[in-house]
Structure formats: C-alpha cells, structure tokens
Amino acid sequence: MIEPAAAGTRAARGAALRPALLLLAVAAASFATYQLAPPAVAGRVIYLYAACLALGPSLVYPLARRRGATPGRALAGSLLVPCAWILKEGWRVSAVFSAPEAAYYALNPMALGLYQAVALQVALIELGLRRPWRRGWAAARGPLAALAAVLLFAAGLGWVGRGSGGSEIFYRYSEIHGWLFAE
Amino acid sequence: MSIDGARPQRKLTRRELLGSAAGAGLLALAARARSARAAARPPNLVIILSDNHRWDAMACAGHPFVRTPQMDRLAREGLLFENAFCTTPLCSPARASFLTGLYAWRHGVRTNAKSQSSWSEAHTTFFELLEREAGYANGFFGKWHMPGSGQPALRGVERFVTFTIEDGQGRYYDCPLVVDGRDEPSRKPYLSEELTDRALDFAAERRSGPFCLYLSHKAVHHPWKPAPEDVGIYADAPVELPRGANSWTGYTNGEIFGGFDRPIESAMRVYLETVTSLDREIGRLLAGLDARGLLEGALVVYASDNGFLFGEHRHVELRWPFEEVIRIPWLLRAPRLVAEPGRRVPQLALNIDLAPTLLELAGVSPPASMQGMSLAPWLRGSQAPGRRAFLVENSKEFPYSAPTYRGVRTRRHLYVEFEGRHRPTLHDVAADPRQERDLMGTPEGERALAELRPMLAALLRGERLDD
C-alpha cells in the first residue's frame, strides 16, 4: 500500500511523476521493440504499446492520486504518454508538412479518440475516488461535468460520422485542413 | 412428326435443292456483308476500371488462391500486360490520367483533396473526341471521385451515373446514385451489381453508331465488402504476411488513415473476397453483352487505378513509390484486333496510354498534347516498340504520410527523389522486385544514376522516352 504524501509537500508535487515516467518507459520500450523485433514479436508487443497509450490513465491517475497528487497533477501525469505519442507523430508529420500542419495533426480523429479515452478514464476514476453516493453529489461536480462533456463530444462526433463507419469525421477533418492551409 | 419431335426425312426435288442452295448463298452473302460492315465500323469500347486492385491479385497473374475466372478469361482470350503501371498511385490523379492521357503534373489533379487541386473542365477526354470525331455514344458509370465542386460537365458523355456520398467514394451497399444530375436510389443493394445493370441497359439501347462504356467500380476500395455469396469464401485461405509486416502494420508508422479496421491477414481475405465479387460482375457484363451480340466486335479493357500495399515495406494503402502500388492489372480482349490471343505483353504500358489507344482503335488521331502512347501496335504483335522509361509522381496530401516525390521507372530501375526529409531511393526492380536493397551510395547505384537523373529531368520537361 502506497502512503499518500501530505498535500503541498515536494513528495505530493512529484506524486504523479513517478507512475507517469514508469508508464512512459514501458511505452517507449514496447515501441522500440515493435520497431526492431521480428514481426511475430512485434505483432504481440504492439498490444502493450496500445494499452500504455489508451489505458495508461487507468494506472497513472489512481496511483498519482493515492500518492497525494492533486487531480490536476494526476491528470497531467496521465497525459504524459498520450502527449509523447502526439509529439512523436507531429515530428513524423513534419517530415512532409509544415509545423502548423503538424500541430493540426494533434486534432486528427484518432487523437481525438485518444483524448476522449483519457478524459473518460480520469473522470470515472475521480468519480470513484470521491464516492458521491456516500458524500453527496455536490462533491463530484467536476468529474461529472467532465464526464458529461466527454459523452457530449463523443455523441457529436458520432453524429458527424453516422452511417459512414466514422469516415465522415475524417473527411470533415481533411476539409478543415483545406480551409486552414489552402495553398 | 416422330415421337421425339424430329421431322421424317424425304428426298428433295431439284427445284427445292436449287432454291435452298440459292438461299444459302444469299444468306452467306448477307452474313459476309454484315461482317464487312462490322469490320469497317469502329469497335464498341468497354472499359472496366476497378479501384486499388493489385496487379497480382488475379489467378491469371499467379495468385495462389483468389478466384477470378472472368479476368482469367480476358487474359486467355486477349492480352495480359505484365508490365502495366499507373503514373501516380492515387485514385483521383490516376483516374484523370486514364481519361486525359496526361501525367498528373499536366492535368493538375494532384491529390484526392479539393483543397489542393481540382479537375478542370477544360481538359479534353477521350469521350469528347470519340463522340465528336467518330460518333460514339458514351456512358460513364460509377466512381468519378475527382476533386472539384459539384458534378462535372463531361463533354461527350451521354449518360453519367455516379455517386457523391462519402466524399465521392460511395458505399458498397445501398449507395445513393446521381443519374445525369438527378438523385436516384440504387435498384440493387450491391453497388457493383447496380453499376453493371446500368451499364448493360446503356449498351442495349438501340443506336446506329458505336458506344463507349466506362464502368468505374468502387470495388475494391476499402472498407472492403464482398457480395453476400462471397462473404467468408477465403476465411480458411493460407494468407501470408509480407516480409517485415505484422498484423497491425496498418495502425502504426503513420499508416493509421490507410483504412484498416482489422488485422492485415483478415483485411487481405476480405479484399480478395471483394475481388471475386467484382470478377463475377465482370462475367455478368460480358455475358450480357454477348447475349445482345455486342461482345465479339468489342474491345474490352480491364484495369485498376492503382495497386495496394498490405504491409510491404511496413506500409499499407498506396501513394508510396513501390511496385505493389504503381503496378496495375491491365487486360484487353478484342477478338477482331488481337493477334495471338493469350499473349503476355512485356512492354511498359501506362494508364496515360488508354486514351490514345482507344482513339487510335476508333480511327481518331490522338491529339499531340496527349502524353501517352497508343498500345494498338502491341495488339497486332509482340515485336512493336515500347517505351524506355516513364515518370512516377505523387503530391503530399494531409494527413497521409507519403511525401511529394518525382521518380523515373525504367525496365530495370526505379529512382525516386522526395521532398522534405526523405532521402532519394534507387532500386533495381528487375533483380530486386521487392525493393529490399537500396542502391543509393553504391557503385552500382552511381553508375545507374548517371543515366537515370537525366532521364528524370527529361520526363519532367514533358519529353517521352520511347524505344
């Protein structure tokens, strides 16, 4: 059992860092293995990499909160691996496109899905930690609002992509790119 | 009448004998006259274009298990161009090249995105020339998908059936159509079947002159969906991943927009099932034309806009300068025009060659502005001269990872110069068709580059490098 650090102490400030860095190390190792290993190994290690990326907040956030991190810092820790991924992708995109276009890449439909996954996990975990069914729902306004926002956003995307398996979302994303970066 | 319905035999009189001989002679003369008229009349032209169909995904091209009896029939009764290529491995630019006989840098459709380029109504297509110069009735059926606003005003096209849904990509099932500018529902659930029906209706219309039918399928573009009877036919087929690929290559290295919604092995199976569904529709088209007496004198071409990657070079989809992407299937059947049917044509044939070929066979001189060459001489024999090299080009399209590049493909080499951080590549595709050994920086490469760089410069100036 990890002992929570006292609020405001150095340990509390760094409480989110260690689990976030640990996850980043696992993600980096699995990505490197994916790139270098034979296909049979790569095809398996990709699951670990994907799990770090999409489900990492379910590990980092509760660990950080138990170690005394504030919700904000725990959220920041949870975003470390997704942000590292989007930076890596941005660097790759910048080999072909301009820096502003590489920045716009961070809003692509897959990245939006990832952000939603992070927000959903964090909101649900925070809701679970606050136990509003015992302490009253007023204590859970923040995570409830976050949850509502995520669901609303997902519903909006679902409406755009309805009947197309989601490809309409991609077409609209490309269209906005055209408006922003027309030659 | 006998019990089996046969007439009882009796001896003919002299008058009856003479009469029947004269009748037979008249019939023979009439048949010969019909045949002479048919030979003099330009052939009906049937062009079947598919989407993302790899050159090697046909039984006649050596695929180990895919069933393509109709494509095989075209190859057996006609020609298989075993070195056929698109000049830009991407839907819209390649399609514009088929129609205009021009490279993408000349026709201007550089990508699929309308923010980057658009189809110009000023372009002359083979439809326009066939109608104006040879009296053809032309019908376009299927995928248009050219960047631009609204429906094109294609000069020379009498019937224009297309779809605009999903950015012009259409849907395999219940795809709403646009028929001569009016919205119409699909009569059949499966799009390939509906388009075939519409094409056959057009071919069956009574007319005095020849017709050109351009049947441009959505198949086999992702997300692949075979006809119901083909679902799962390759579920147990022995699919092998390309060297270096793993099941999830479609989700990594920037390939996430390549359209994969499943592991590569599963995607390959459903892709090949969709190829077989397309093949069945080709068979239905051929049978329908045959039943109306329109097949024997017709020229039938089957080709695809570009190929496809299933994890080769750790890429999926298209756009990249690899053989799997730039090679296309190209079959041609024309019993009255092809010498030695069943032949394999080794010369380099390109998508930009379709327009000048159709025009020459219709008796129309291709305009000098067309950059392709007529393949008609190759129909008559395998010794006809070909081309030494051609240009391979691509323009970047956000957010796809393939960069802008220009390259030259000869019978032996593929040399490509990229924009951005990517370094040039050079492969001896004759000795190394999988492009696994980059020759840049090697003595062999340096020797080849001395010839290839001037060739690339000449192609970019618009010169043709023929034999």
Which chain B residues contact residue A177 at CB under 8 A? 115, 398-399
Q: What is the mean pLDDT of residues B393-418?
A: 96
Which chain B residues contact residue A104 at CB under 8 A? 398
Question: A66: buried, middle or exposed (CB in 10 Å: 19+, 13-18, 0-12)?
Answer: middle
B9: pLDDT strictly greater than 60? no
Q: Specify the 3-state DSSP secondary structure of B215.
A: strand
Residue type, A49: Y
Q: Which of B115, B257, B261 sits opposite A178 (nearest CB)?
A: B115
Interface test with B, best of A174, A175, A176, A183 (most B CBs within 10 A): A174
pLDDT digits (tens, 9 = 90+) for A149-181: 999 999 999 999 888 878 889 989 999 999 999
- Helix A141-160 × helix A109-130 angle, to 10°: 150
Mean confidence (pLDDT) of chain A:
91
Q: How far apart are alpha carbons B243 and B376 in whole angstroms?
A: 38
Q: What is the mean pLDDT of residues B91-116?
A: 94
pLDDT digits (tens, 9 = 90+) for B17-47: 556 655 666 556 555 555 555 556 899 999 9
- Which residue in chain B is spatially nearest to A111 when comparing CA positions? B256
Read off the tokens for A81. Answer: 């691996």
Within-domain flag for B124:
yes
Which chain B residues contact residue A167 at CB under 8 A? 166-167, 169, 223
Q: A46 and chain B: CB distance < 8 Å anywhere? A: yes
Residue type, A168: E
Within-domain flag for B203:
yes
CA separation (Å) from A36 to A29, A87, B245, B314? 11, 21, 12, 12
**Domain termination site, one of B384, B417, B435:** B384
Query: Residues near A18 by Cβ (< 8 Å), separated by ≥ 6?
Result: A67
Q: Which residues pair with B141 in a beta bridge?
A: B161, B215
Interface test with A, best of B145, B240, B248, B255 (most A CBs within 10 A): B248
- Measuring CA to CA, which residue among B346, B344, B319 is closest to residue B411? B346
> Are residues B300 and B165 located together in one domain of the fold?
yes
Q: Which of B223, B241, B419 sits opposite A39 (nearest CB)?
A: B241
Q: What is the mean pLDDT of residues B93-97?
A: 97
Buried b (16+ CB within 10 A) or exposed e, A45-60: bbebbbbbbbebbbbb
The shortest C-alpha distance from A6 to chain B (Å) reads 42
> Are residues B45 and B147 located together in one domain of the fold?
yes
Which structural domain, as residue segments, surrounds residue B101? 38-384
**Helix ranges restricted to H, B320-414:** 323-326, 354-361, 376-380
**What's the complex ipTM?**
0.86
**Residues in A 89-118 with any Cβ partner in B closer than 8 A:** 89, 92-93, 95-97, 101, 104-105, 108, 110
Within-domain flag for B247:
yes
B435: pLDDT strictly greater than 70? yes
Within-domain flag for B31:
no
Domain of B270, CATH number, reads 3.40.720.10
- Which of the residue ranges B203-207, B259-263, B282-286, B407-411 would you say has the lowest mean pLDDT? B259-263
Specify whether the CB–CB gap between B90 and B347 falls below 8 A.
Answer: no
> Are residues B324 and B415 located together in one domain of the fold?
no
* Whether A101 and B422 lie within 8 Å, measured CB to CB: no
> Are residues B371 and B411 located together in one domain of the fold?
no
> Are residues B379 and B414 located together in one domain of the fold?
no
Residue owning tokens 């922003």 = A180
B292: pLDDT strictly greater than 50? yes
CA separation (Å) from A152 to A142, A148, A171, B432? 15, 6, 21, 53
Within-domain flag for B30:
no
> Are residues B343 and B434 located together in one domain of the fold?
no
**Per-residue confidence band for B256, with pLDDT thresholds at 50, 70 and 90:** confident
> Are residues B427 and B355 located together in one domain of the fold?
no
Q: How far apart are alpha carbons B70 and A163 in whole angstroms?
A: 33
Query: Residues near B57 by Cβ (< 8 Å), separated by ≥ 6?
Result: B63, B66, B68, B271, B272, B275, B329
Stated as kind and residue range, the H or E segment containing B192 is helix B191-204
Read off the tokens for B213. Answer: 């039918």
Q: Specify the 3-state DSSP secondary structure of B307.
A: coil
- Measuring CA to CA, which residue among A53, A52, A33, A51 is closest to residue A43? A33
Q: Which of A96, A168, A182 sits opposite B115 (nearest CB)?
A: A182
Q: What is the mean pLDDT of residues B283-296?
A: 96
> Are residues B425 and B297 located together in one domain of the fold?
no
Q: What is the mean pLDDT of residues A29-52?
A: 93
Q: How far apart are alpha carbons B245 and B257 in whole angstroms?
A: 17
Mean confidence (pLDDT) of chain B:
92
> Are residues B336 and B434 located together in one domain of the fold?
no
Specify whether the CB–CB gap between B294 and B46 falls below 8 A.
Answer: no
Within-domain flag for B3:
no
> Are residues B289 and B367 located together in one domain of the fold?
yes
The shortest C-alpha distance from A4 to chain B (Å) reads 38
Which chain A residues contact residue B261 at CB under 8 A? 165
* Whether B113 and A39 lie within 8 Å, measured CB to CB: no
Domain of B444, CATH number, reads 3.30.1120
**Per-residue confidence band for A14, with pLDDT thresholds at 50, 70 and 90:** confident
pLDDT digits (tens, 9 = 90+) for B189-216: 999 999 999 999 999 998 899 999 999 9
pTM for the full model?
0.89
- Which of the residue ranges B144-148, B173-177, B447-451 would you say has the lowest mean pLDDT? B144-148
> Are residues B205 and B338 located together in one domain of the fold?
yes
B151: pLDDT strictly greater than 90? no
pLDDT digits (tens, 9 = 90+) for B358-374: 999 999 999 999 999 99
| Distance from chain centroid for Cα A19 | 15
Q: How far apart are alpha carbons B338 and B381 in whole angstroms?
A: 8
B87: pLDDT strictly greater than 60? yes
The shortest C-alpha distance from B48 to chain A (Å) reads 26
**pLDDT higher at B40 or B137:** B137
> Are residues B49 and B120 located together in one domain of the fold?
yes
The shortest C-alpha distance from B209 to chain A (Å) reads 42
Within-domain flag for B308:
yes
What is the structure's pLDDT at B444?
A: 97
Within-domain flag for B11:
no
DSSP assignment of B47-103:
EEEESS--TTSSGGGT-SS---HHHHHHHHHSEEETTEE-SS-SHHHHHHHHHHS--
Domain count for chain B: 2
Residue owning tokens 């060459």 = B373
